[in-house]
Amino acid sequence: MQTPENEEPPLDLKRLSVAALLGALAGGLCSWVLPVPSLAVVVTLLSLVVAAINLRPPDYPIPDELTVFGFFLGLVRPLAGLPMALAGCAACLALFWLIERTGQMGRGCTKWAGVLGLLVGWPLALMAPMLAFMLGALMAIPMTLLGKDAKAMIPFGIFLSLGGIVTIWGGPIFLKWLEFDF
């Protein structure tokens, strides 16, 4: 059964449930069983998968299964860290929802930004999009100078994923360098 171009395909609840269960299991393992860097390793691997998928031909969205996995990965954590994680998620969702309304961003990137905000928490949730926009500009400026089409669609999930990887590994060090107590 095909769906019209403007409609999204129906959600596969079985696949989303499996993704949620696996994400919760991975979050529990990273929070209570495995050593501290394990969450950063899982987030890095998830971000690389999202970036690789977003590199595919135009209009290839970030799968909901990956965002659901990431959401439950970030949600299952000690209660003390949950408010800051939810604040990071809300900040990223709000920012990208506003950008999405202008037609310059897809819904997949908005959901992925919310997941990254949840995974890195507040105030690092602001660092990942900032790095993503800087990386995107570093690519767009030379393309413009070389005369490439200014209207060409560049998949932003790639930059968002790279910003998330840099943030999960270097963000706490950067905040300590700034002497920001979090």
Q: What is the DSSP string of 153-167?
A: ---THHHHHHHHHHH
State the helix-helix crossing angle for 37-54 and 157-177, rounded to 10 degrees. 150
Mean pLDDT of 152-156: 76
Backbone angles phi, psi at 132, to 5 degrees: -65, -45
Give the percent of the chain with pLDDT over 70: 87
pLDDT at position 41 over 70: yes
Cα 81 versus chain centre, distance: 19
* pLDDT value at residue 1: 45
Report the C-alpha gap between 41 and 99 in whole angstroms: 29
- Structure-derived torsion over alpha carbons of residues 38, 29, 112, 5, reported in degrees to the nearest 10: 130
pLDDT at position 140 over 90: no
Contact between 51 and 162 (Cβ < 8 Å): yes
- What pLDDT, in 10s, does the model give residues 62-95? 888 999 999 999 999 888 889 999 999 999 999 9
> Binning pLDDT at 50, 70 and 90, where does residue 143 land?
confident
Mean pLDDT of 12-16: 86
Contacts of residue 29, Cβ cutoff 8 Å, sequence gap at least 6: 38
Report the C-alpha gap between 100 and 17 in whole angstroms: 26
Contact between 73 and 42 (Cβ < 8 Å): yes
Contacts of residue 9, Cβ cutoff 8 Å, sequence gap at least 6: 3
Domain ranges of the chain: 15-177
